[in-house]
Amino acid sequence: MLRNPVRGGGVEFASNLGRDLMKKILVALLLALALPAPAAAKELSKLDVCGPSGCNSTSDRALLRRIGEGSDGSVPADPPALAPFYTLVYHVRAGRGESFNGRKKVVFRTSFVPGAHLVRGTDEAGYVVWTTASQVFTNAVARLTRGLRPFPTPRITRVSVRGTFVTDPASYERLITITSENTDFVEAYDWAPVDYRSTRSSPWRGVLLEFSAKKHALLRNNRWIHLDSALSKQVQLGTPLTATGGNGFPLRWVGIAATAALVAAGIGVALIRRFRPWEPNPRRPEAAPVRGEAGPRGPASPSR
């Protein structure tokens, strides 16, 4: 299991209970929706898809079944850039003799970014989780968004690193989508939460990633991004991010480059030993002239 940092330092096993609970609820919903009404133990009784002007709701079992089939949260994804989005509100009702920790009904919210086909949720530990929405899910939700405008693209207003606010928070949007070719695991004990605030409640609000100053790395959605030292220093100081992006030269490429250099050097040594350019080119001995032919010093003597 992947490990997530504890806010404020240390390392612990990632808590996926929130996401697992959602997946179990949705699996139960699929089973319930496929069974006759008397046999259904749990059901997604209602779904609201909301934008700035209000919400469109449905209790259509067939439509809810398609939405459930495409929202199992099994495909993690990188966060998208800031974009228009919808808020999805799930109403789940327990069946007869069933409960959710003593409750007969639970309501949970996710965000859907239609332009990127991504869903944003939060696990029990408070970490942001992005997953890819299936085409089935996207098509089903599209039926509910007809005539409903999404929330507009939000604007980042505040960013804090380990509780200290940065200058020029808009420049820290880069960290939401920055990537690096090097995605090797990072063992660090100085992970600091990077907390974002926007003009309104949005998918890009909250602790979106963690930062390690000692390792020059980010941990985002259970993935590691390696930063160059200049950018890492700016994040550590909370200054505007003007340096270059992620470090795209992982250690394995260092090894490949070193091997290539050694091979090239070996070939060069072999060529030098073969041709020895520092030694003069020895003169070949002249062949003796053949009788009757002109030699190197003049014509041959006439025969008697």
Per-residue pLDDT reduced to its tens digit, 219-243: 998 899 999 999 999 999 999 999 8
> 93: burial class by Cβ within 10 Å (0-12, 13-18, 19+)?
middle
Residue 228 or residue 45, greater confidence: 228
**What is the rounded average pLDDT for all residues in the chain?**
76
pLDDT at 284: 53
- Residue 132 DSSP class: E
Q: Which pLDDT tens digit goes with each residue over 150-196?
A: 999 999 999 999 999 999 999 999 999 999 999 999 999 999 999 99
| Domains assigned to the chain | 3-144 (2.60.40), 156-237 (no CATH)
Share of the chain above pLDDT 70, in %: 63
Q: Is the pLDDT of residue 126 over 50?
A: yes
- Could you give the CA distance from residue 160 to residue 210 in angstroms, rounded to a whole number? 11
CA 291 to chain centre: 87
What is the predicted pLDDT for the residue at 239? 97
Would you state the pLDDT for residue 251?
A: 41
Of the pLDDT bands very low, low, confident and very high (cuts 50, 70, 90), residue 210 is very high
d(CA 48, CA 118): 17
- Is residue 219 within 8 Å of 186, Cβ to Cβ? yes
Residue 38: pLDDT over 50: no
Convert the pLDDT of each residue in 284-302 to its tens digit: 555 555 555 555 555 555 5
- Separation of alpha carbons 136 and 134, rounded Å: 5
273-286 confidence digits (pLDDT tens) = 555 555 555 555 55
Among 40, 22, 31, 23, CA closest to 107: 22
